[in-house]
């Protein structure tokens, strides 16, 4: 079953056409990576999927409902690129606040904090945390509601390599348990951690693929290099 379906999506921001007409589907219970350089439209696309982006035309359907429908409120979790937690509350207070919004309790809040490796910092004010810790606090607040769909906008930016690996393992674990994850990143080495890859460039889908297929198509085991080979091949194709 497809959890997210995007058809002919066109989005303008300011006077710019940021997404000129995207179509794809995201299957259930997988980690789908949205990979693309800065400015390629990743955040805009994720915003459209959670229903906070004004769209020009096209449709975005999530779990069978139009994106942003009230029915999706507690079924879709979204973590924005800049942390969306309260600086004047502790990590634990933030998690409990979000837990209460989702009808969950203190136990779930503490579990979510532990899941993102913030157990030691649970009593600290979010305003006193490092950028990476703040990002993880936001993630804990999204996890606490146990949403069916998790939309994460560059969740690993500013994290050290060990934490990045831990988080990606956590994402895989959630997907194995049935959660559908859509995770954006601008670093290709994270692509290897995804079940499925959407490669975005200038608002257009350059490829809808898997790490294995990208390695084959791009004739390299290195995903970054494979990606560049695919980009070059498609540029040559267009020049012809």
Site residues for Mg ion per CB under 5 A: 42-43, 81
**Minimum CB–partner distance for residue 228 and Mg ion (Å):** 21
Is 40 among the residues that bind ligand ADP (CB under 6 A)?
yes
**Minimum CB–partner distance for residue 108 and ligand ADP (Å):** 30
Q: Which stretch in 39-47, 106-114, 124-132, 191-199 sits in contact with ligand ADP by CB under 6 A?
A: 39-47
From 33, 36, 51, 135, residue interacting with ligand ADP (rule: CB under 6 A): 36
From 1, 14, 123, 161, residue interacting with ligand ADP (rule: CB under 6 A): 14
From 4, 22, 35, 42, residue interacting with ligand ADP (rule: CB under 6 A): 42
E-strand ranges in the chain read: 2-13, 16-27, 31-35, 57-62, 65-66, 76-79, 149-152, 180-185, 196-201, 204-209
E-strand ranges in 76-155 read: 76-79, 149-152
Residue 41 CB partners (closer than 8 Å, separation 6+): 11, 18, 19, 200, 202, 203
Which spans in 191-240 are helix H?
211-217, 223-239
Gap between the Cα atoms of 132 and 121, Å rounded: 12
Decide which of ligand ADP, Mg ion, none touches 220; Cβ closer than 5 to 8 Å per partner kind.
none
Q: Give residues in contact with ligand ADP (CB under 6 A).
A: 13-14, 16, 18, 36, 38-44
């Amino acid at each position: 079953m497809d959890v997210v379906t995007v058809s002919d999506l066109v989005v303008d921001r300011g006077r710019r056409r940021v997404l000129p007409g995207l179509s794809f589907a995201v299957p259930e219970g997988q980690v789908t990576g949205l990979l693309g350089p800065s400015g390629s439209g990743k955040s805009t696309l994720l915003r459209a999927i959670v229903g906070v982006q004004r769209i020009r035309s096209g449709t975005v359907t999530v779990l069978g409902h139009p994106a942003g429908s009230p029915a999706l409120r507690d079924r879709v979790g979204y973590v924005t690129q800049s942390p969306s937690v309260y600086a004047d509350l502790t990590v634990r207070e933030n998690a409990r606040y979000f837990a209460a919004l989702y009808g969950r309790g203190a136990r779930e809040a503490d579990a979510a904090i532990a899941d993102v490796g913030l157990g030691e910092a649970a009593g600290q004010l979010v305003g006193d945390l490092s950028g990476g810790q703040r990002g993880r606090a936001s993630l804990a607040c999204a996890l606490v509601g146990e949403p069916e769909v998790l939309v994460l906008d560059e969740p690993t930016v500013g994290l050290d390599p060990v934490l990045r690996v831990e988080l990606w393992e956590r994402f895989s674990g959630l997907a194995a348990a049935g959660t559908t994850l859509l995770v954006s990143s601008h670093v290709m080495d994270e692509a290897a951690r995804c079940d499925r890859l959407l490669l975005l460039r200038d608002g257009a889908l350059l490829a809808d693929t898997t790490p294995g297929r990208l390695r084959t198509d791009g004739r390299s085991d290195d995903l970054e290099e494979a990606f560049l080979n695919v980009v070059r091949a498609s540029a040559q194709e267009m020049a012809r």
